[in-house]
Amino acid sequence: MADSKQDPRAKSPELEELHRLLAEVDAAASGGRPAPSPRPPPRRGPRWWLGILDLLAVSAAVYTLMVATPVGGLVVRGVHWATGRHVRTRPLITYFKTERGAGVSSHAVEAVAQAPAADASTTPGAKAAGLDPDLARALALMLSAGNRSEGHFDVRYPPGAAASFAAVGLVAPAATAPADAREAALLTGLGKLQADLHHPEAAVAALAVELPRVRYAVHLAKAAGAAMPGEYAAFREYLPPDDRAEADPVVHGTFALVTAFGMTWPVPTNARITSPFGWRVHPVLGKRKLHGGVDVAVPLGTDVVAIADGEVLYVAQDGVNGRFLKVDHGHGLTSVYCHNDSTEVRRGQRVKKGAVVAKSGASGRVTGPHLHFQMELDGTPVDPEIFLK
Least confident segment among 9-18, 121-130, 291-300, 378-387: 9-18
Query: Taking a C-beta distance cutoff of 8 angstroms, is the pair 341, 300 a contact?
Result: yes
Alpha-carbon span 302 to 305, nearest angstrom: 10
Q: What is the CATH number of domain 63-261?
A: 1.10.530
Q: Is 322 left (phi over 0), alpha (psi -120 to 50) or beta?
A: left
Measured between alpha carbons, how far apart are the two ends of the chain, in Å? 112
Answer with the residue of higher pLDDT: 25 or 154.
154
Q: Is the dihedral of CA 100, 104, 108, 112 positive or negative?
A: negative
User: What are the sequence ranges of the domains in the chain?
Assistant: 63-261, 272-387
* pLDDT tens digits along 84-98: 445 567 788 887 865
* pLDDT tens digits along 13-36: 655 655 665 565 455 444 544 444
Answer with the residue of higher pLDDT: 35 or 300.
300
CATH class of 272-387: mainly beta
Same-fold call for 63-261 versus 272-387 = no
For the chain, count helices (H), then strands (E): 12, 14
Query: Among residues of the chain, what percentage have pLDDT more than 90?
Result: 61
Query: Among residues of the chain, what percentage have pLDDT more than 70?
Result: 73
Question: How confident is residue 117, by pLDDT bands cut at 50, 70 and 90?
Answer: confident
* pLDDT tens digits along 181-227: 999 999 999 999 999 999 999 999 999 999 999 999 999 999 999 99
Answer with the residue of higher pLDDT: 14 or 164.
164
Alpha-carbon span 149 to 155, nearest angstrom: 10
Amino acid at 308: A
Question: How confident is residue 1, by pLDDT bands cut at 50, 70 and 90?
Answer: very low
Number of Cβ within a 10 Å radius of residue 260: 25
pLDDT at residue 106, as a whole number: 78
The average confidence (pLDDT) of the chain is 83
Alpha-carbon span 307 to 355, nearest angstrom: 8
Question: How confident is residue 2, by pLDDT bands cut at 50, 70 and 90?
Answer: very low
pLDDT at residue 92, as a whole number: 85
Least confident segment among 15-29, 113-127, 157-171, 270-284: 15-29
Question: How confident is residue 110, by pLDDT bands cut at 50, 70 and 90?
Answer: confident
* pLDDT tens digits along 44-55: 555 655 666 666
* pLDDT tens digits along 357-385: 999 999 998 989 999 999 999 988 999 99
Mean pLDDT, rounded, for 254-271: 95
* Nearest one of 240, 229, 273 to 371, comparing CA atoms: 273
Alpha-carbon span 333 to 96, nearest angstrom: 13
- The alpha carbon of residue 107 and the mean position of all alpha carbons in its chain are separated, in whole angstroms, by 25
Question: How confident is residue 75, by pLDDT bands cut at 50, 70 and 90?
Answer: low
Mean pLDDT, rounded, for 307-313: 97
pLDDT at residue 101, as a whole number: 46
